[in-house]
């Protein structure tokens, strides 16, 4: 505990693992602090080799959990609420947070080594040049201090290491990267994709870009990773190491150097600040089990505790110089909470192909990228939306209790031809709003004495107009795609749509060129504290429409390279 490290990294998830790898490989003595428990790669918490009948309650949660209010957020999200992975998510009854009664916020967390890298959807999408230009162009939020060109080589660097299986689609709105063999579309998806291509030049249905290995490189196999087996048990933990996580890739790479120390069950309470040197000294942590406090010192602190987790720690890091939170001279810490919004779900039948099946369980779905970067005559809103999509074969290959027949009748129906059903889910960009803010609750604390995070954020009129247009667009696209029995459900304009539902919360310590209006510079370095960096989702100045994890990783790798050079020159 008295040892001083070169670098302290707070959090072990997607960005924390990357920061650890980069600093360790450059020879720096690195400490990773994780507030949750230790989870071993291929350890007993991985359930991907258990048969359905070996899972507790066949994968369904205990009714007692719901009856007693546990996992309320996950229950509302539905698809996350299953016992095969429930232990990788936080129970918000045990770890509460706060929000206004009329603005519920759905905050999904993972408190264990590896964080949410164990449960992410693995959709690895680059942002486009237009995404980084949007704030400056339409005047919403703080202009990005970096461009796509600044990040492009780091996207490539990250993609080569993690392994992204994807097709080179040649789209300006979704740049291609360093890809392995793509997964194949099903009959229904290819049918719709071909028909959409005949009708539109700007709208495309493509196969998703998955951080699941299909053609492992020598570097990846050397870490013990192997090819994805298309079992789609990713959420249970991947014994094959086929999908990218901190446990399968970045932490093992860091450990190989001998420069890594990992401490779990250590809640970072605050970043300690030295008034004389005007630098961060290290951090104070609370032992999760004993609740005792201790300090760790370092030359550099990297905050990678997840967007809102990082904001909570920074706000709680008060000092004489920073009475409202470290590096908050601008007053912008906690501002511009971002995320994606959904409000449209569509489905349709796909004609033909009853005798065609999809073999295996592909770990990624299909995707319609944002095609509304530019404001059009038919729209009264700015920015845009995309659609996460998939198709299912409605045969009785996997009978359910809802289907008719038992015994021999059920057996005879297995594998019989059936229709395809296509589904699409809108992902819209929420604008950066100054008054979407996270603060510390003035009186409520958790059991370790940390003030609860109070999240006051909502979508506004621009996003509601976007939802209305998305409903029209997807119906039109499904008609053009040759579908029948089209059903489009859009959230009523008067109904509250909670932020956080799409698990892509961002913002709170955004980048910017002006220290008076932003917390960080273009390297993720705090304007006010030169040896403090933030490279998780908190640093984002806008949220685009793509899944953000690949961008987090590229920003982290770039920032770690920059900070390493400053350390080598004793500048920080």
**What is the chain's pLDDT, residue by residue, as a tens digit (572 residues)?**
568 999 999 999 999 999 999 999 999 999 999 999 999 999 999 999 998 888 888 877 787 887 788 888 888 877 666 778 889 999 999 999 999 999 999 999 999 999 999 999 999 999 999 999 999 999 999 999 999 999 999 999 999 999 999 999 999 999 999 999 999 999 999 999 999 999 999 999 999 999 999 999 999 999 999 999 999 899 899 999 999 999 999 999 999 999 999 999 999 999 999 999 999 999 999 999 999 999 999 999 999 999 999 999 999 999 999 999 999 999 999 999 999 999 999 999 999 988 888 777 899 999 999 999 987 888 899 999 999 999 988 765 555 556 677 788 777 777 677 789 999 999 999 999 999 999 999 999 999 999 999 999 999 999 999 999 999 999 999 999 999 999 999 999 888 899 998 899 999 999 999 999 999 999 999 999 999 999 999 999 999 999 999 999 999 999 999 999 999 999 99
CB 22 within 8 A of CB 564: yes
How far apart CA 88 and CA 67 sit, in angstroms, is: 21
How far apart CA 336 and CA 51 sit, in angstroms, is: 44
- Dig out the tokens for 91 from the structure: 């129970």
- Dig out the tokens for 402 from the structure: 């809802």
Dihedral over Cα of 151, 234, 112, 89: its sign:
positive
Beta strands in 288-436 (DSSP E): 293-303, 340-341, 344-350, 366-368, 385-393, 420-429
pLDDT confidence of residue 1: 54
Dihedral over Cα of 237, 238, 244, 245: its sign:
positive
CB 156 within 8 A of CB 164: no
Count Cβ atoms below 10 Å from residue 331 Cβ, excluding itself: 12
The residues spanned by each domain of the chain are 4-165+245-336+436-441+505-568
How far apart CA 355 and CA 415 sit, in angstroms, is: 9
How far apart CA 204 and CA 17 sit, in angstroms, is: 33
pLDDT confidence of residue 546: 98
* Nearest partner of 228 among 245, 215, 219, 217, judged by Cα: 215
CB 93 within 8 A of CB 71: yes
CB 350 within 8 A of CB 390: no
How far apart CA 58 and CA 451 sit, in angstroms, is: 38
Strand partners, 207: 366
Three state DSSP letters for 41-74: CCCCCCCCCCCHHHCHHHHCCCHHHHHCCCCHHH
Pairing label, strands 260-263, 30-33: parallel
How far apart CA 572 and CA 298 sit, in angstroms, is: 11
How far apart CA 33 and CA 9 sit, in angstroms, is: 6
* Nearest partner of 308 among 146, 139, 90, 131, judged by Cα: 90
Q: Residue 459: is it exposed, middle or buried by C-beta count within 10 angstroms (0-12/13-18/19+)?
A: buried
CA distances from 431 to 102, 478, 493, 506, 550 (A): 20, 27, 17, 11, 20
SS3 139: coil
What is the separation, in whole angstroms, between the first and last Cα of the chain?
A: 22
How far apart CA 130 and CA 148 sit, in angstroms, is: 8
CA distances from 534 to 127, 146, 295, 528, 559 (A): 19, 15, 20, 13, 9
pLDDT confidence of residue 2: 61
Which fold would CATH assign to domain 4-165+245-336+436-441+505-568? Answer: FAD/NAD(P)-binding domain (3.50.50)
- Dig out the tokens for 545 from the structure: 């429409």
* Nearest partner of 259 among 528, 548, 3, 34, judged by Cα: 3
pLDDT confidence of residue 376: 81
CA-based Rg of the chain, rounded to a whole angstrom?
A: 23
| 120-129 per-residue burial string, b: 16 or more CB within 10 A, e: under 16 | bbbbbbbbbb
Pairing label, strands 344-350, 437-445: unpaired
- Dig out the tokens for 98 from the structure: 């706060």
CA distances from 4 to 285, 286, 296, 561 (A): 15, 18, 7, 21
């Amino acid at each position: 505990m008295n040892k001083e490290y070169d670098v302290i990294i707070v959090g072990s998830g997607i960005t924390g693992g990357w920061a650890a790898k980069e600093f360790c490989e450059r020879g720096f003595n690195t400490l990773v602090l994780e507030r949750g428990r230790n989870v071993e790669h291929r350890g007993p918490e991985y359930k991907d080799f258990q048969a359905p009948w070996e899972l507790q309650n066949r994968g369904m949660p205990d009714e007692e959990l719901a009856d007693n209010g546990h996992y309320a957020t996950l229950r509302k999200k539905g698809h996350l609420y299953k016992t095969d992975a429930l232990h990788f998510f936080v129970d918000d009854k045990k770890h509460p947070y706060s929000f206004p009664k009329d603005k519920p916020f759905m905050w999904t967390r993972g408190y264990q080594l590896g964080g949410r890298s164990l449960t992410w959807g693995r959709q690895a999408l680059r942002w486009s040049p237009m995404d980084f230009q949007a704030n400056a162009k339409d005047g919403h939020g703080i202009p990005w201090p970096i461009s796509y060109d600044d990040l492009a080589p780091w996207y490539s660097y990250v993609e080569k290491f993690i392994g992204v299986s994807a097709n080179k689609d040649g789209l300006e709105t979704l740049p291609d990267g360093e890809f392995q063999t793509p997964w194949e579309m099903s009959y229904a998806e290819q049918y719709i994709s071909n028909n959409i291509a005949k009708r539109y030049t700007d709208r495309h249905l493509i196969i998703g870009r998955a951080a699941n290995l299909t053609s492992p490189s020598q570097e990846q196999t050397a870490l013990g990773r192997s090819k994805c087996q298309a079992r789609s048990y990713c959420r249970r933990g991947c014994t094959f190491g086929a999908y990218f996580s901190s446990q399968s890739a970045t932490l093992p790479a860091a450990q190989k150097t001998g420069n890594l120390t990992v401490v779990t069950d250590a809640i970072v309470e605050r970043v300690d600040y030295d008034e004389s040197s005007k630098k961060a000294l290290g951090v104070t942590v609370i032992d999760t089990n004993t609740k005792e406090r201790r300090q760790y010192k370092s030359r550099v602190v990297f905050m990678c505790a997840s967007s809102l987790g990082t904001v909570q720690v920074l706000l709680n890091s008060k000092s004489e110089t920073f009475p409202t939170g470290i590096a908050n001279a601008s007053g912008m810490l906690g501002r511009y909470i971002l995320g994606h919004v959904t409000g449209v779900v569509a489905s349709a039948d796909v004609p033909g192909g009853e005798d065609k099946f999809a073999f295996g369980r592909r770990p990624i779905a299909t995707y319609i990228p944002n095609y509304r970067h530019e404001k059009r005559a038919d729209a009264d809103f700015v920015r845009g939306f995309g659609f996460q999509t998939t198709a299912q074969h409605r045969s009785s290959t996997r009978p359910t209790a809802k289907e008719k027949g038992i015994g021999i009748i059920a057996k005879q129906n297995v594998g019989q031809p059936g229709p395809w059903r296509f589904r699409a889910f809108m992902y819209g960009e929420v604008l950066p709003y100054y008054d979407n803010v996270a603060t510390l609750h003035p009186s409520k604390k958790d059991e370790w004495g940390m003030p609860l995070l109070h999240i006051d954020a909502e979508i506004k009129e621009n996003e509601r107009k976007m939802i209305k247009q998305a409903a029209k667009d997807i119906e039109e696209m499904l008609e053009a795609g040759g579908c029948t029995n089209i059903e489009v459900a859009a959230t009523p304009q008067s109904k509250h749509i909670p932020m956080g539902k799409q698990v892509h919360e961002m913002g709170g310590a955004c980048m910017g060129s002006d220290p008076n209006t932003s917390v960080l510079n273009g390297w993720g370095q705090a304007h006010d504290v030169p040896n403090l960096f933030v490279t998780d989702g908190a640093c984002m100045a806008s949220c685009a429409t793509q899944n953000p994890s690949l961008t987090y990783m590229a920003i982290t790798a770039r920032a770690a390279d920059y900070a390493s050079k400053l350390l080598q020159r004793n500048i920080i």
